[in-house]
Amino acid sequence: MAIAWSDNLLMLGVEDIDADHKQKIEALNRVDFLIEQEAEPEVVAKALHDLMTGTVEHFAREEKLMRRTKYPALPAHAELHREFLERLGKLHAASFHGQGQMDARAELDFFSDWMSVHIQNADRNFVHWLHPEK
Ligand SMILES: [Fe+2]
Ligand SMILES: [Fe+2]
């Protein structure tokens, strides 16, 4: 299911990170929409590819900031990022092999939940650590 952006739940108060998260959610929602619409496999694969490259960049930016600020929970946080990308990579690979390889809808539900929970917990913890006033 699509994620509705919510300032209350998802906005962390750091402009770059928030803008990045909004974009990631839009990219996720686009893949979700295309799968729901049963779009052509190449169209879904392209949207998945865009989501993947955008997410790789986002995670790299976050981890760079965490390294620079010597965030103590960086290893655990980076591991979460790695697991997410691994699973997303599997869906992307499966999307090139026709239908029935993987339940794409269930996977998209997992990614949407994951992203929402990750922002509200792991990313929020980092922002709180970095800016205790936020
Ligand atoms: Fe994030
Ligand atoms: Fe993160």
Instruction: State pLDDT tens for residues 7-47.
Output: 999 999 999 999 999 999 999 999 999 998 989 888 999 99
What is the overall mean pLDDT for the chain?
A: 92
Q: Which ligand is nearest to the CA of 21?
A: 1
pTM of the model: 0.92
Tell me how far the alpha carbon of residue 61 lies from the centroid of ligand 1, in angstroms.
9
pLDDT number for residue 123? 98
Tell me how far the alpha carbon of residue 122 lies from the centroid of ligand 2, in angstroms.
6
Q: Which domains does the chain show, CATH number per domain?
A: 11-130 (1.20.120.50)
Q: Which ligand is nearest to the CA of 125?
A: 2
Q: Which ligand is nearest to the CA of 116?
A: 1
pLDDT number for residue 2? 86
pLDDT number for residue 132? 85
Distance CA 51, CA 30 (A): 9
Q: What share of the chain is helix, strand, coil (3-state, %, to 5)?
A: 80, 0, 20
Distance CA 29, CA 23 (A): 10
